[in-house]
Structure 1
Amino acid sequence: MAASEQAEKLWMEEGDELTSSLARRVEQSRREREDASHVLDEARRTRERLSREVDEVRDSLASALERAATGGRGRSQRPLSAKVVGPVPVSDEDVPLLDVREPETSFDELVLATETRSLCEEIVHEHRNKGRLASYGLRPRRRLLLAGPSGTGKTRTAEALAHALGVPVIRVKLSAVVSSYLGQTARHIERILEFSSRGSWVVSFDEFDMLASGREDSDHGEMRRVATVLLQQLETYASDNLVVATTNHADLLDSAIWRRFDEVLVYRRPNQKQITHLLKLKLRRIEYQINQEQAAKALSGLSHAQVEAICLDAMRAAVLDGDKSVSTEDLLRSASSRKRRFKEAGQSLG
């Protein structure tokens, strides 16, 4: 009986040891599976990270090549891919309501009035230090209205602000936003604001007077109400993104619209001193021998964009003619040619 009990006890101990051994093997197998899963997850994350880095390097190289091709002027902006920003909102007709681009125009590329440049620098400083402002219950100025004649640098200022803040620029396509149906227009605006709240960028509304005309006919009255709704929504906009509206027709804006902006920057055509600065800036990629006073006087009354176009005309002609520099006569000839073409088209250049 003692031998039988001893054998049973031995059998039970062996069974317990076998059970423990099996449990240890099961636990080891589970850990090995978890380790393998972690390795696979890490490999997947590494692959995704490397893929993003490759995309970033490719985009950076493309950007550098584009800047080199344009002499560093950055006038040609590259749209950011949907992979970077996600799908952009579309209208009820499935037309994109905006595009997102890398800003490549800096303030060094612009000739602005002293007051305008100072205001821009203040706004950039506020947005770079919004955390410090928030600690005092303050927010940076976020709603800007840029008003002035066509070609005076308003749209490029929005790009330069984005460049200074290191964020992309959203350019809203008002031609797609504005619908013959008021309800659709409001929905489009909601989609734009919802999309823009997802990230950091400068949001640019060009030709804002399309929304905010001060004329009294019923159609424009409806659009004024849409503009008012937009600005009301911006007042409760959770994001600190900078929103920049531009207009070539400030006189068409309802006075109530003006009051809803945090800051209004007024743009004018360049004076002769600014034209001289523009000539130096735009002709810097080629030698030039010009009488700056004479050239500035001849170009007086033109917009920044028109002066730049004349400089480009003169440079192209000089390069193709085999000349090594641009002369005063080259500039005056380019200006005269452009003025004549505009006059023939029934338009005034300046």
Structure 2
Amino acid sequence: MAVREQAEMLWMDEGEDQTGFMTAVERSRRRRQLEATQRPALEQERSTRREQPAHQRSGTRDDLAAALERAATGHGGARPLSSGFTGPLPASDEDVPLVHVVEARVTFEDLVLTAENTTLCREIIREYRNRGRLAAYGLRPRRRLLLAGPSGTGKTRTAEALASSLGLPLVRVNLSAVVSSYLGQTARHLERILDFASRSQCVVSFDEFDMLAASRDDSDHGEMRRVATVLLQQLENYASDNLVVATTNHADLLDEAIWRRFDEVLIYRMPTQKQIAQLVKIKLRRFEYKINQEQVAQTMSGLSHAQVEAVCLDAMRAAVLSGAELLTTEDLQSSTAARKKRFREAGKSLG
């Protein structure tokens, strides 16, 4: 049986929880089962490839490149999910989906967070898992989180990692469909989203939250002032224990009253050189490399987490296509310099 077919059978096997996908423990068990069943076939495949002429191995190298892309980005083709929810997905008045429900693939092993944010995330996960115990004492877990910081510093992926750790689907809000110029429509969309999310266990993710919650004092659009007011009320009255994670690149634009509606605020910053070195190690973990981590981190200084990842992907793609056996310090420095040059020419600085 082909490896891909075995994987599909494991996906479709019984044992999925009521939300329609596997818990973290179940995923781990199936991963070990899949690896055990694949091992003999993979060893045979490697042996066969070694005996092939170089021109016949190009297809395999292309497959490796695709696998590296999925592994490095943490996006293995996330499967849309809708099971476990009562009723259809919420839609706008124009019948455009207001949310996308996906299986979370990113884990905290894929991220490099500050010690403070790592501790906060662990505490939040622990509280959610023990919410029944907290309820016995009249307490509730922290469930409304605001993640603020520069673009590309890991806010959106933290929301996905929280969902992955809790074994819950991720409900991503489609802001382009939520915001409307028609009177009252945006507010109705928000009500539909939170009502939908409250009917099942999930993690709700609002990216670019400042689009909805900009300061009412600064807004010259009457509808958006009403939206901010409705959003305040919705967050205040949201009764579900589901996590609501809002992210913003512009915390200074948020309405002052919004901050009080969140149980916890996590602040994100550009990575230090030590964090860059850790992130490079994570992104290259499935690739052979021999690098001077200090030199690489110094070269990448000023890049965001997302840009560090992009540089690593550039270098890995170039190595795969050139037939190189391993990545070097020079490869990463060259990719960094090339990316910085392109952004400078576009009028943007990457440090």
TM-score (norm 1): 0.79
CA distance in 2, matches of 1:182, 1:132: 43
Task: Give ranges in structure 1 of 5+ residues lacking alignment.
Answer: 1-51
2:71 corresponds to which letter in structure 1?
A: G
Cα deviation, residue 216, structure 1: 3.8
CA distance in 1, matches of 2:222, 2:145: 23
Task: Give ranges in structure 2 of 5+ residues lacking alignment.
Answer: 1-11, 35-65
Q: Which has the larger radius of gyration?
A: 1
Cα deviation, residue 74, structure 1: 3.1
Work out whether residues 79 and 99 of structure 1, in 8 Å CA contact, stay in contact via their aligned partners in 2. Answer: no
CA distance in 1, matches of 2:82, 2:234: 26
Cα deviation, residue 94, structure 1: 0.8
Cα deviation, residue 219, structure 1: 3.7
1:77/1:169 Cα in 2 relative to 1: closer, same or farther (>3 Å)? farther
Work out whether residues 89 and 195 of structure 1, in 8 Å CA contact, stay in contact via their aligned partners in 2. Answer: yes
May I ask how many residue pairs the two structures share in their alignment?
A: 297
Does 2:106 align with 1:89? Answer: no
Give runs of aligned pairs for residues 225-240 of structure 1, distance below 5 A: 225-240=226-241
Work out whether residues 147 and 247 of structure 1, in 8 Å CA contact, stay in contact via their aligned partners in 2. Answer: yes
Deviations 1:243-262 (A, max 9, x none): 00000111111222112211
Cα deviation, residue 227, structure 1: 2.6
1:196 corresponds to which letter in structure 2?
A: A
Deviations 1:87-117 (A, max 9, x none): 2110011110001000011111100000011
Alignment match, 1:328: 329
Question: Which segment drifts farther, 218-227 or 155-164?
Answer: 218-227
2:124 corresponds to which letter in structure 1?
A: I
Cα deviation, residue 139, structure 1: 0.4
CA distance in 1, matches of 2:133, 2:339: 50
Does 2:122 align with 1:121? Answer: yes
- SS of alignment partner, residue 147 of structure 2: strand
CA distance in 1, matches of 2:258, 2:225: 8
1:132 corresponds to which letter in structure 2?
A: R
Work out whether residues 106 and 164 of structure 2, in 8 Å CA contact, stay in contact via their aligned partners in 1. Answer: yes
Work out whether residues 143 and 263 of structure 1, in 8 Å CA contact, stay in contact via their aligned partners in 2. Answer: yes
- SS of alignment partner, residue 315 of structure 1: helix
CA distance in 2, matches of 1:299, 1:221: 44
- SS of alignment partner, residue 212 of structure 1: coil
- SS of alignment partner, residue 264 of structure 1: strand
- SS of alignment partner, residue 190 of structure 2: helix
Alignment match, 2:190: 189
1:59/1:211 Cα in 2 relative to 1: closer, same or farther (>3 Å)? closer
CA distance in 1, matches of 2:300, 2:176: 33
Work out whether residues 203 and 241 of structure 1, in 8 Å CA contact, stay in contact via their aligned partners in 2. Answer: yes
Alignment match, 1:340: 341
Cα deviation, residue 221, structure 1: 5.7
CA distance in 2, matches of 1:220, 1:314: 46
Alignment match, 1:164: 165
1:226/1:59 Cα in 2 relative to 1: closer, same or farther (>3 Å)? closer
- SS of alignment partner, residue 205 of structure 2: strand
Cα deviation, residue 179, structure 1: 0.7
Alignment match, 1:223: 224
CA distance in 2, matches of 1:182, 1:204: 25
Cα deviation, residue 84, structure 1: 5.2
CA distance in 1, matches of 2:260, 2:222: 18
CA distance in 1, matches of 2:136, 2:225: 36
1:129/1:54 Cα in 2 relative to 1: closer, same or farther (>3 Å)? closer
CA distance in 2, matches of 1:324, 1:227: 54
Q: Which structure carries more helix by proportion?
A: 1
Cα deviation, residue 347, structure 1: 2.0
CA distance in 2, matches of 1:102, 1:308: 22
Work out whether residues 213 and 220 of structure 1, in 8 Å CA contact, stay in contact via their aligned partners in 2. Answer: no
CA distance in 2, matches of 1:195, 1:225: 21
Work out whether residues 77 and 101 of structure 1, in 8 Å CA contact, stay in contact via their aligned partners in 2. Answer: no
1:291 corresponds to which letter in structure 2?
A: N
Does 2:311 align with 1:310? Answer: yes
Give runs of aligned pairs for residues 60-71 of structure 1, distance below 5 A: 69=67, 70-71=70-71
Deviations 1:122-155 (A, max 9, x none): 0000000000100011100111000001110000
Give runs of aligned pairs for residues 125-140 of structure 1, distance below 5 A: 125-140=126-141
2:91 corresponds to which letter in structure 1?
A: V
1:72/1:330 Cα in 2 relative to 1: closer, same or farther (>3 Å)? closer
1:270 corresponds to which letter in structure 2?
A: P
Q: Which runs of 4+ in 1 moved over 4 A?
A: 52-61, 81-84
Aligned sequence identity (%)? 69
Deviations 1:35-85 (A, max 9, x none): xxxxxxxxxxxxxxxxx8579699879x979xx942386324524344554
Alignment match, 1:8: none
